[in-house]
Amino acid sequence: MNTKIKCLLLDDELPGLTYLKMLCEQIPELEVIKAFNDPQKLLDEVPKLDFDLCISDIEMPGIDGLTLANLLQNKLIIFTTAYKNYAAEAFDINAVDYITKPVTKERLEKAVAKALERFQKLDVSKKFIHLNTDKGKSLLYFDQIQYIKTAPVDSRDKEVYLADGSILILKNINFGSLLNQLPKAEFCRVNKKEIIALTAVQFFNHNEITLTLQEGKGKPAVLVLSETYKNDFLDKVKL
């Protein structure tokens, strides 16, 4: 199974951002989700984005990289900067690495290797998440989650189907936020309205996925695999 780190890029100088994106696209372990030249725009879009890592400049107008890193909470951070005097502060907030410009591919690869190691440890060590449900706060263990879909009554809510056959309503949460909290190697979005646990997959082809989970009349759930999410799903199920 291939592991890729989904990353956001941030640099207020467009030439530097373009160069960084070019380097990142040459590193197989990275998938660039989006590049920003304005930290506020990045923060505005964060709730809608599925990412694991942010590679960011530090000195920027408005919100500096250190402040941004704190606002991103548990996301991995690699700093790139022309200034050496921020290194101590960067590591105080547990940054993965601190690269002084000009960034080289070799130096960036070393930083990404560190991020991948930390990412894999995070994925393995965490067993559950806390979420608000229609029955109150709940501990949802990853190995119990089979399938998550948009609730039919209110699209802001999500229905989660559990291995014991029960269903919970997750209150007012979007798919981006859910994916950020679920182990990347074990869960996958397959279309705009559905997330699956890979352990729930019974059969699949390039257009649809059949789950072991049964819906109405005892028939297995069959989901559409959309073009937008197809490559991510196929990467995750490779042996």
pTM above 0.95, yes or no: no
Which DSSP helix (H) or strand (E) runs through 168? strand 167-170
How many beta carbons lie within 10 A of that of residue 139, not counting itself? 10
Both tokens of residue 112? 């990404």
Architecture in CATH of 128-236? Beta Barrel (2.40)
Architecture in CATH of 5-125? 3-Layer(aba) Sandwich (3.40)
* Cβ contact 99:80 at 8 Å: yes
Q: If 0-12 CB within 10 Å is exposed, 13-18 middle and 19+ buried, where does residue 159 land?
A: middle
Among 187, 127, 177, 175, CA closest to 151: 175
Domains 5-125 and 128-236 equal at CATH topology level:
no
Has residue 159 got a pLDDT over 60? Answer: yes
Sequence spans of domains, the chain: 5-125, 128-236
Which tens digit of pLDDT belongs to each residue from 94-142? 899 999 999 999 999 999 999 998 887 765 557 888 889 998 988 888 9
List, in sequence order, the alpha helices (H) in the chain: 14-24, 39-45, 65-71, 87-92, 105-125, 175-181, 227-236
pLDDT at site 185 = 80
Both tokens of residue 5? 């780190």
Which DSSP helix (H) or strand (E) runs through 203? strand 201-204
CA dihedral 233, 72, 27, 110 (to 10 degrees): -130
Q: State the Cα–Cα distance between residues 235 and 212, nearest whole angstrom.
A: 20
Which tens digit of pLDDT belongs to each residue from 197-219? 999 999 999 899 999 987 666 78
Has residue 40 got a pLDDT over 50? Answer: yes
Q: State the Cα–Cα distance between residues 137 and 170, nearest whole angstrom.
A: 9
Contacts of 182 by beta carbon, 8 Å cutoff, 6+ apart: 129, 142, 145, 195
- Partners of 54 in beta bridges: 8, 77
